[in-house]
């Protein structure tokens, strides 16, 4: 029998009657939430975890078939919820975890009270009717670089994704996180992340949500935030002054304030 909590390196801390679950993005682990942990642990029960292949997760649990779509990762989240007996959860997901959380909430909305999407994107690829921020050939080029030189890709992409050139230590941290992720799993997860199209899922979502979109993000431009707001049930959009793709690291105070304000008003 699989030990769910060991598989995903689940950690619980904080205090409070309501649970807040924090789900990291591609190439990261639960340590990226340190600022939000400090802000929320005195009011909420916090649950953190690592996706299989990241952080201190159990690498032996990785199955290419299971994780060939976002549904495999969404199933992991639901299994964690079931194992811990969670309900009325505030789910905070960064980047691809936003759509993973959305898929989980569509599958079993009873677990969730609110969703918070941090720098989300339901689709990264532009088409005639939608601005996702990237062209298909650009993404294919990223995959080629990852396949040929994963460490080189990590070093080159981290500063572009983090975006805050005045804080090089954050780019170094992101690059280190990329390098700490199992390369084979990272390559497969990257394809699942950047080739997924979850735009139709937005219309199926019945759990209220907050979208935090950064003012300048090479992976998820502001147009994505407006698209989510327009096509999602009870969706609240906040455009942050923060730049880059990781505002919970580069602008934690603004990110925390936006989340706290949303929760208190809803």
- Strand partners of residue 125: 134
As annotated, the active-site residues are 95, 217, 245
Task: Classify 132 as helix, strand or coil.
Answer: coil
Asked if residues 213 and 238 have their Cβ atoms less than 8 Å apart, the reply is yes
Enumerate the β-bridge partners of residue 214. Answer: 240
76 torsion bin: left (phi>0), alpha (psi -120 to 50), beta (else)? alpha
Helix boundaries (H) for the chain: 4-7, 34-40, 70-84, 96-107, 136-148, 150-162, 168-180, 183-195, 199-202, 222-231, 247-250, 252-265
Tell me how far apart the alpha carbons of residues 160 and 157 are, in angstroms, rounded to a whole number.
5
> Cα-Cα-Cα-Cα dihedral of 241, 243, 246, 248, to 10°?
-30
Half-sphere exposure of 224 (CA within 13 A, CB side): 32
Within 8 A by CB and 6+ apart from 139, the residues are: 124, 125, 194, 195
Distance CA 266, CA 117 (A): 15
Lay out the sheet containing 89-94: strands in order across.
11-14, 45-48, 19-23, 89-94, 112-118, 209-216, 235-243
The β-bridge relationship of strands 19-23 and 11-14 is unpaired
């Amino acid at each position: 029998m699989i030990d769910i909590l060991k598989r995903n390196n689940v950690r619980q801390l904080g205090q409070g009657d309501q649970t807040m679950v924090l789900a990291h993005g591609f190439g990261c682990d639960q340590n990226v939430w340190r600022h939000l942990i400090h802000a929320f642990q005195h009011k909420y029960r916090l649950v953190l975890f690592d996706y299989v292949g990241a952080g201190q997760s159990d690498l032996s649990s990785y199955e290419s078939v299971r994780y060939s779509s976002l549904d495999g990762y969404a199933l992991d989240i639901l299994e964690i919820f079931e194992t811990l007996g969670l309900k009325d959860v505030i789910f905070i997901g960064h980047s691809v975890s936003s759509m993973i959380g959305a898929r989980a909430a569509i599958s079993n909305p009873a677990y969730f009270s609110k969703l918070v999407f941090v720098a989300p994107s339901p689709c990264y690829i532009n088409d005639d009717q939608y601005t996702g921020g990237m062209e298909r050939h650009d993404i294919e080029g990223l995959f080629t670089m990852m396949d040929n030189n994963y460490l080189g890709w990590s070093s080159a992409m981290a500063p572009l994704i983090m975006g805050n050139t005045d804080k090089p230590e954050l780019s170094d941290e992101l690059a280190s996180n990329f390098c700490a992720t199992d390369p084979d799993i990272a390559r497969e997860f990257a394809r699942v992340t950047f080739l997924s199209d979850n735009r139709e899922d937005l219309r199926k979502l019945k759990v209220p949500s907050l979208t935090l979109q950064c003012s300048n993000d090479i992976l998820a431009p502001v147009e994505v935030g407006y698209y989510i707001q327009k096509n999602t049930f009870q969706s609240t959009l906040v455009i942050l002054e923060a730049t880059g793709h990781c505002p919970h690291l580069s602008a934690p105070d603004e990110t925390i304030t936006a989340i706290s304000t949303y929760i208190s008003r809803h």
